[in-house]
Structure 1
Amino acid sequence: MAARRADALLDLVVREPGAAGAAVVERGAARVTVVVDAGTGTARLAGGPEIAASTAERLACDARARVLLTDRAANRMYLGRSRRLASPAQIAALTADGGGSCRFPGCHHTRHLHAHHVRHWLRGGSTDIDNLVLLCSFHHRLVHDHGYLVLRPPGEDWLFHRPDGTPVEATGRLLDGSAESLVERNTRARLRIDRSTLTPDWYGDRLDPEPILDALLPPGTTAAAA
């Protein structure tokens, strides 16, 4: 009985109201990107895990398919110096490779992405798939205006370095310490912190920076500067 009820529900879903026996087939509006490696036959969700080959075949029956080759021979992925802007096919390949987000470590922005030339076009860089990386507008500006470097060693993922040469990690350094050690340090420093510690005693009068500067600057700084 349960199976018959499920079949009846499915029949109601696929039939147009008022049209007896007329099946209605509509494509869904959801967008799921599945990347299939033609060489190995493996399939995975963009930015996610692998899926079974049978699942990829079932999805391909009623989905749009786009071929993205990785070789250099007669390939739209490698335009060289014949074109400055990335082509739609290249944008699609970059999106599939990076999960549709900015490639800067720790950034997950998926909007306002730019196809950045790692070796700039004005310096002889080519519009090839291995010289392009997707960056959001903020990190694109960071690379161009603040001296951040983008590198890709053979067989590795994109690496980002600060202007001083230190690598940018995907996550920050883990916080350490404990509440007990903090209380111990405050006790040694004779600091009494309670719920009223952060209560301000300021009445809205104008800030006078002179006492603050007198406390921060060493004696004789003003005379030496003059």
Structure 2
Amino acid sequence: MTATLFTDTDPDQLTEDELAERLIGYASQTAALTARFLDYLAAFDTRHGWSGEGIASCAHWLSWRVGLSLRTAQDHVRVAQALVDLSCLRSRFHNGEVSYSKVRAITRIATPIRDEELTTFALSATAAQVERLVAGIRRQDRSEDPESEDEAPESAAHWSWKDDGTLTVSMRLTALDGARFLAAVVRAEYERTRTTADDAPLPTEMSGEADPNQMPHDLWRNVPYNVASAVVAMSDTIVDGVKMPEVAVGGELLIHEIDGVASLDEGPALRSAERDEAHCDASLRVVRHGEGDAMSVSGRRVGPILRWGRKRRVPNAALVRTVMMRDRSCRSPGCGRTRHLHIHHVQPWSEGGTTDPDNLILLCSQHHRALHGGQFSIKALGHQRFAFRGTQGEPLVAAPLHRAPDGWRPSPHVPVDGVDPTGGGRLDLGYATEVLYAAWQWKAERVEEVAAAA
């Protein structure tokens, strides 16, 4: 069926059938446009067009410039690169006949030899059925791989705040991690509910011999079904018992300055950008030398130490907390990283910059290095506001505005019902998997025969 260029009719003026027609039609157009988007993305990633200004990856660039979440951006990059070798699936995707959800699932298991059969299946199946098939094939692939081991899944736990103000935690633990968790729950519950009777000396402490019948009855209680109170007690124990450092710094960094050249202690000379970056370190000490040949530093004969420099002035604990609570993450536009953060003096302290919130900003290690490498700049605007600019002076913003390309119209070559599956009945997973593996085995044997004949 050929495409219809839908007009922007008010939904209230359309019947239910007309609404359904437009939903399917626009979904087909969306699939085709997404396919073209992923073609461009694969080329952009291959050419490393995203590199610069401290960008860590193509997915990171997408998250910043296109407004995708990082996880979604990573999926887009993976799918884009996988489609390069899947000509059949890519062709149907460009025609708007398979949705992105189906393509995303198939690319987890697809290879050039599997391309045609999986694409044919996707055309006649729902997205849920495609997901089921992919999961089944992944299990089958693992079972048939002699080098693979049936490894237990890794432990994982996730949390989220709900609308009613409660915190929900979902955990899936391996057997050993689960046993550790339950053992800790038992101990925490005992500690939480212990009484004066439980504080009495145990029989083993009095006579060296233990009678299980004389043990305090609450000591080895069963794991409670509702573990919430025990988990909170475990959390309180960690919060009260483990003290975090006010400022976490590494080992002391020594830099020797000799005739205007800075060198690491027993290390190489530093470039100017590296020296500037080092001056942001909280534990830097600069050692200056006089004339003579009393010692050797980095292969150079230098004079005696004239000045054993003090460490760089760093924000006090209260100021660190202020900047941390204000920024929460790296302030570089589109970054959002919350680990390995540095407090950076926008105007260097050595050049008169102050150590106060108007001149301090959080940067991740990658953007901190990119800043000192000249890939972008920061200007303090006062009142704890900062402006980021690129190498040409252009402003860098966290969320660039989006707009459709000028003159874009839906493609007339995309069928109005392209994404609508031709089948969608009950999926016989065992039969479907058996047929696919038989087809792939036959194709692999033909390839081997051709190779042997050559």
Higher Cα Rg, which structure: 2
Higher RCO (C-alpha under 8 Å, 6+ residues apart): 2
TM-score scaled by length of structure 1: 0.43
TM-score by length of 2: 0.23
